[in-house]
Amino acid sequence: MTKQIRIAFSPDADDWFMFHPLLTGRIATEGLHFVHERVETESLNARAEAEDAPDVCAVSIAHVPAIAHRYLLLPHGGSVGRGYGPIVVAKRPMSLADLAGRKVAVPGLRTTAHLVLRLLLHEATGLTFEPVVVPITPYARVFEALAAGEVEAALLIHEGRLTWADDPSLHAVVEIGEAWHRLTQLPLPLGGNVIRRDLGDATIRAVSAACRASVEWSLAHRDEVMDALLSSGARDEARLSRERLDRYLGMYANADSAGYDAPSLTAIRALFDRARKAGLLGETAIELAP
């Protein structure tokens, strides 16, 4: 008997890359049938809290503590920044400290990028900024908000952290992953996949194995999956050339996605601990799935 598993992930290239083999019959799924939905990052965080939450969901690492009663963190499928990550840009030169009290576009209040920026500014100045939620879909919306003066700076994630440099009027304010590494000497865990606890041990293990196999297949057939992504037109709005896609996947869909290493797990705990001590997070216990 086939068991249906509902998964939800973002339209971004790294998620598409990791789940592509699972959804196109490239790997054996051992009696599991996967159906999927694709929504932007903050909507995924919200979906994980909904009554009809998916069985597997891509979420921001910062949101994992809030849903830990329902979900386990899968040990694979994550995105980790090693000295790089989301970036804050503005229409004029600014420093991290200059963000205090200013309107900053953020991709969502539950996102890791938002939490880390709040933490960095808090540790540097003891102050905060005024977040203005600008979802990452449509892709151009955050840049329009900057140009129109709706916000004074913008926190960019996913492909936007590469493509912003195409606009010569924008200035980098702070590179979040770089600043985090200077502060902690650790990588920056950004996104991950979670699985519902109530699926039961046997199903959790089977689904986890299938998801791991999907990531590993894509890494082993990288050029083929890149060709499929580019030909699908799925991320045309993000203006990703093959060269830029290659760079993007090299950053966020790589060996770290096959499994969190010890420094990455240490970084997750360090992020939660620092945020809790700063009063930005409550309970931070998490548990890894098999």
- Beta strand 79-81 with 32-38 is unpaired
Catalytic residue among 20, 63, 76, 158: 158
Helices (H), the chain: 13-23, 41-47, 112-125, 141-147, 160-163, 176-184, 201-220, 222-232, 242-252, 255-258, 262-277
Q: Count how many residues are written for the chain.
A: 290
**Residues in a beta bridge with 56:** 7, 195
Known catalytic membership, residue 20: no
> d(Cα 235, Cα 3) in Å, to the nearest integer?
30
Spatial neighbors of 250 by CB under 8 A, at least 6 apart, are none
Q: Which residues form the catalytic set?
A: 158
